[in-house]
Amino acid sequence: MSDYPVWINGVPEGFLPVSDRGLAYGDGLFETVRVSSGKPTLADYHWRRLLRSCEQLGIVLDIERLLEEVDAFLFDNQVGAAVLKVIITRGSGGRGYSPEDCLSPRRILSLHPLPSRSRDPGLHGARVKLCRMRLGRSVLAGLKHLNRLEQVLASGEWRGGAYDEGLLCDVEGNLIEGTMSNLFIVTHDGGLVTPDLSFSGVAGVCRDFIIEFARHRGIAVSEQRVSPDLEGSEIFLCNSVNGVWPVIEYEGREWGVGSLTAQIRDCVLEELNA
């Protein structure tokens, strides 16, 4: 049994059938949601992405049923602040790739403590390295599907606290994302650039929130190819659990925590602690 709370299809359960296609083929999706005061944060962004991704994969998800289970799961476990992981698999099926007979998706909910660090990269800044691992091009770019082997291998390129995060390029050498985060560059004229994720990477929920936040305030945001040289006046990373991490060190270069990065960090933090 798991040492943390787990529900499968609305029932407390700690075992998964070996026939589950998420285990066999990575055939599914997941959301990692920060919980504050017992409620999922950035919830609309998470559920919209999950539903959109399920539709793209042809997984029929009863979103209303899932949301009822999430509410009951959090209430049952008297959650204050935590990390909620939501996994949707295509369910169980026989041997072979064809999903033809898989008509019952599996909904897996689990709770985990918030990350604990002796040094907070959100406050003090993140030390970042360029990973050797390259991301492949895929028609599934943008989706947070269950196959995350590239990120697993990239995360193994350093040990201990030497770095807070690693950045990944695609096979053509364009900078795409961190192992667990999206990347933003503050340009010298005060705009934002974030890598184009048309062919590689995960379109993160916090990334979407920041793009929307910036555009509503008249800040230009461009999604484009980004060189690993990282030219910009400020650099920051984001995800929906950790919020915004200003980058202060990368491949022998240094930045301070800039004013726009700090503004966006504080806004995201307020949203994640609401």
**Catalytic annotation, residues:** 32, 144, 177
Amino acid symbol at 134: R
Q: Cβ distance 168 to 180 under 8 Å?
A: no
| 4 CB-contact burial (10 Å; exposed 0-12 / middle 13-18 / buried 19+) | middle
Tokens of 73: 């799961």
Nearest-angstrom CA–CA distance, 152 and 138: 18
Q: Cβ distance 106 to 24 under 8 Å?
A: no
Nearest-angstrom CA–CA distance, 260 and 274: 21
